[in-house]
Amino acid sequence: MQTLTVQELDRRLKSGEILQLVDVRSPDEYRAGHIPGAINIPMDRCEARLDDLHASVPVVLICQSGRRASMTHELLSAHRADMMVLEGGTAAWMAQGLPVVRDTVARWSLERQTRLVIGILVLSTSIASLFWPPAIAVPIFMGAGLIFAGLTDICGLGLLLAKMPWNRPQTPSPCNPKPATSR
């Protein structure tokens, strides 16, 4: 497996070399800060999205620390021989003070919001059931909901959270043409 240091990648990009930067982290991690010009193809989607990679341009796989990029390299090495892994990933890039692109709207993913709500409900109602036994029905219901969501890829709580005001797209108003940058 061929690797690149942050310094090597920076030098090659500044010299005008054309490389396809592929960030294999989750969309939320990507939005939190990625190397300019990198596209986001999460690790679990890389095999399905091989056609999104330019056939004649070498690929640099990037993640937070280099571990997922190395795993992705193993998955794709049979399909592409011209892949490299960025040593230390985005964390090393940022540690060198190199530029990153960040999403200006800080939002938690629906998956993260769902995990938080379920965790709070399961923990609080499990404790409550020590004093009021019928409360045990809530963690049982949540467990059944997780099984259903895992089998069908339909999450009722996720659908409900998606309708919450903080998860709606920000649209500029006539009085304020710039969308707010934080909530």
The two three-digit tokens of residue 100, written as one number: 């990153």
Active-site pick, 46, 63, 155, 175: 63
Residue-wise burial string across 91-110, b where 16 or more C-beta atoms lie within 10 A, e elsewhere:
ebbbeeebeeeeeeeeeeeb
Non-local (6+) Cβ contacts of 140 within 8 A are: none
> Does 155 qualify as catalytic in the annotation?
no
CB 139 within 8 A of CB 126: yes
Query: How many other C-beta atoms are found inside a 10 Å radius of the C-beta of residue 18?
Result: 10
The two three-digit tokens of residue 45, written as one number: 């989607």
Task: Give catalytic residue positions.
Answer: 63
